[in-house]
Structure 1
Amino acid sequence: MHDVAFIVYPGFELLDVSGPASVFNGANRALRQRGKSDFYKVGLASARGGGVESSSGVALETRPIADLRSAEARTVLVVGAEREHLLPAVADPALRAALPHLAGTAERFGSVCTGGFVLAALGLLDGCRVATHWDSCQPFAETFPRVTVDPDALYVIDGRLWTSAGVTTGIDMALAMIARDLDASIAGEVAKRLVLYARRPGYQSQFSPVLKAQVKGGSPFADLIGWMQSNLDASLDVPSLAVRAGLTERTFHRRFVAATGQTPARFVETARLDAARMLLSRGLSLKSVAAQVGLFPPARLAEAFERRFGIAPRLFRDMHPEL
């Protein structure tokens, strides 16, 4: 059995536990259907044990973290919460006493969402690259300058350290753990049974270009951006987009930058390259991908892709097959 210990505290985010826990349970179910024994055993620990209430009011029964032996915690994950609940957790003497040893002896350790703040406060993330909730990336980086925060990744694997971004990305990280521990097909079965749209790879951004643009400033170009996403193979230069928006080129450029924080050209390239990553992970040829995302011929796609991501698209496709 592979024991997974979730570390919780008053006010924790319930989905940070229930999402990944359901994934691990799903893996056991898939194994049983194949005539095999359960692999995962999920447990919860807190500073003093007993019932611990989440931010949603639902309480979970836990054991004292001091009673959690190293052999019973092969994977240790600290769950997240809002700032007002994180601060008491960071200062809790029982957590501060137990977590360094557990993290040091576990096969892997990490956090879901903002749980990384607790680990970072103990110096356990110094020199590491991590993911956290998009709204916490800047304060995390400012508070812990020795930690490198990846603001885009859904989850980050840095040696034994696994960290995920906001809330539901804990599910994506748990699926990746299953694929590594057991079999990619098991992870696929779990994702399908949980009716997930897709297994999202860690490199995928927390926000698509569309959502980023919609969040920033109310986005007066929401309809146009939606059309752009559906027509990446069309001519998306400033003159064409300005006509579609009913504005002069100069006015369109100025208002688009104000609304999205990016020039139209940069935004279009980002949208095309994000789409290219997803299509490449499905095993499509460079020629097909280049045509679909509007970066044809393939040499144009390869140049833009390598400039942005530092890796050739062919190699990326080989390294990130969709499972």
Structure 2
Amino acid sequence: MTKPHRIALLAYEGCQLLDVTGPAAVFGAANDARDRPAYEVRIVSPDGGAVASNCGVALMSQPIGGRCDTLLVAGGSRGLKAVMAREDVRRWLRKAAPQARRFGSVCTGAFVLAAAGLLDGKRVATHWASCKRLADRYPAITVDADALYVVDGQVWTSAGVTTGIDMALALVEADLGAATANLIARHFVLYARRPGYQSQFSPLLQAQTDVDAPFARLIEWMQTHLDEPLDVPALAARAGLSERSFYRKFVEATGKTPAHFVEGLRLDAARTLLAKGLPLKAIAGRVGLRSSARLGQAFERRFGMAPSLFREMHATSVA
């Protein structure tokens, strides 16, 4: 990069603060990691000046206008309909987005791009709670209700709030390489860099959401013992319940049978290992699916593609 890339982050009254400041902090950290700045970050808004975010923290912004290399629209609840309805915003987006090298959104910012007609024919992500609403309102868009973020050509869209950081790290990696993106992630004290294909729904977090969380500890244990037998007798014994009682209570707590839940854990782990380029046989053993054939059947049934194709698409280095 010979000169700084111009980043425009569209904010508005009532926008989600972290949808703006999360990506901005990533790009700022990329500048700190280099001898000379890689990015010129601007927060823009329909009218410029101070913009109150959803939590009351004000963002100083410049009026919309001009060209940029990357354009991202923040999500929000309050104020979202108002900014979608503004013809001047839609007009600027229709002009600026196609001229940018890439454009996209964080969380419900996808609705703003959709209102400008910029997402037709694209596969996109948004917050899980808004996926159906986006799909129903804009049928020309394919909404991926599972992914953390989606890249479709020059369009980058992410799910809710913190996933904007994940997507911004991926943008930095595309520009400056994995080493810089990983350095920023370590600086941010992130537990892990999450790939876009990772699900918005953490099994452990979903279990912990329930006040009683009867199986949270069991699920946490399951995630680190995928290569062991995880059938009903083994899980019931670990939970200290009869098999019949365990099965009934597990389905009530998770909405899934133990077998279906365990397979989901194993396939999610398999995706992570495939992205690391590991051989199919080794992955099958590590996640408890025993054979590459069994892994292939289950993987294709759930994700609609062979694990070998997924590895080609996502692996950084094939072992």
* TM-score > 0.5 by shorter chain: yes
Query: Does 2:63 correspond to 1:69?
Result: no
Moved more, 2-11 or 214-223: 214-223
* Residue aligned with 1:89, SS: helix
Query: Does 2:219 correspond to 1:222?
Result: no
Moved more, 46-55 or 237-246: 237-246
Q: What residue identity is the alignment partner of 2:194?
A: R
Query: Does 2:78 correspond to 1:79?
Result: no
1:276 corresponds to: 270
* Residue aligned with 1:6, SS: strand
Contact 2:91 2:116 in 1 (8 A): no
* Residue aligned with 2:75, SS: coil
Counterparts in 2 of 1:240 and 1:213: CA distance versus 1, 3 Å: same
2:34 corresponds to: 31
1:293 corresponds to: 287
Which ranges in structure 2 are unaligned for 5 or more consecutive residues?
A: none
Q: What residue identity is the alignment partner of 1:40?
A: Y
Contact 1:256 1:263 in 2 (8 A): yes
Contact 1:48 1:94 in 2 (8 A): no
* Residue aligned with 1:77, SS: strand
1:150 corresponds to: 144
Contact 1:217 1:260 in 2 (8 A): no
Moved more, 48-57 or 136-145: 136-145
Matched residues in 2 for 1:252 and 1:190: separation? Answer: 43
1:60 corresponds to: 59
Q: What is the deviation of 1:126? A: 1.6
Q: What residue identity is the alignment partner of 1:61?
A: M
Matched residues in 2 for 1:292 and 1:27: separation? Answer: 35
Q: What is the deviation of 1:115? A: 0.7
Contact 1:19 1:171 in 2 (8 A): yes
* Residue aligned with 1:104, SS: helix
Candidates 123, 127, 138, aligned match of 2:121? 127
Contact 1:11 1:54 in 2 (8 A): yes
Q: What is the deviation of 1:313? A: 3.1
* Residue aligned with 1:211, SS: helix
Counterparts in 2 of 1:216 and 1:262: CA distance versus 1, 3 Å: farther
Identical-pair percentage: 58
Candidates 280, 303, 311, aligned match of 1:309? 303
Q: What is the deviation of 1:232? A: 1.4
Matched residues in 1 for 2:247 and 2:7: separation? Answer: 51
Q: What is the deviation of 1:81? A: 0.9
2:42 corresponds to: 43
Contact 1:2 1:40 in 2 (8 A): yes
Contact 2:90 2:115 in 1 (8 A): no
Moved more, 196-205 or 22-31: 22-31
Matched residues in 2 for 1:264 and 1:202: separation? Answer: 26
1:165 corresponds to: 159
Query: Does 2:247 correspond to 1:253?
Result: yes
Q: What residue identity is the alignment partner of 1:5?
A: A
Q: Considering fraction of residues, name the structure with more helix.
A: 1
Matched residues in 2 for 1:140 and 1:219: separation? Answer: 31
Counterparts in 2 of 1:260 and 1:322: CA distance versus 1, 3 Å: farther
Query: Does 2:170 correspond to 1:176?
Result: yes
Counterparts in 2 of 1:218 and 1:96: CA distance versus 1, 3 Å: farther
Q: What is the deviation of 1:281? A: 2.7
* Residue aligned with 2:193, SS: coil
Q: What is the deviation of 1:274? A: 0.9
* Residue aligned with 1:123, SS: coil
Q: What residue identity is the alignment partner of 1:49?
A: G
1:196 corresponds to: 190
Q: What residue identity is the alignment partner of 2:12?
A: Y
Contact 2:274 2:283 in 1 (8 A): yes
Which ranges in structure 1 are unaligned for 5 or more consecutive residues?
A: none
* Residue aligned with 1:109, SS: strand
Contact 1:219 1:260 in 2 (8 A): no
- The CA deviation string for residues 106-156 of structure 1, in whole angstroms up to 9 with x for no partner, is 111110111111111222212211111122112222222221111111110
Matched residues in 2 for 1:145 and 1:218: separation? Answer: 39
Moved more, 285-294 or 108-117: 285-294
Q: What residue identity is the alignment partner of 1:69?
A: G
Matched residues in 1 for 2:217 and 2:174: separation? Answer: 40
Q: TM-score normalised to the size of structure 1?
A: 0.89
- The CA deviation string for residues 242-294 of structure 1, in whole angstroms up to 9 with x for no partner, is 34344444443333223212121110000011112223333444343322211
Contact 1:218 1:259 in 2 (8 A): no
Matched residues in 1 for 2:133 and 2:211: separation? Answer: 21
Moved more, 243-252 or 204-213: 243-252
Q: What is the deviation of 1:314? A: 4.0
1:3 corresponds to: 6
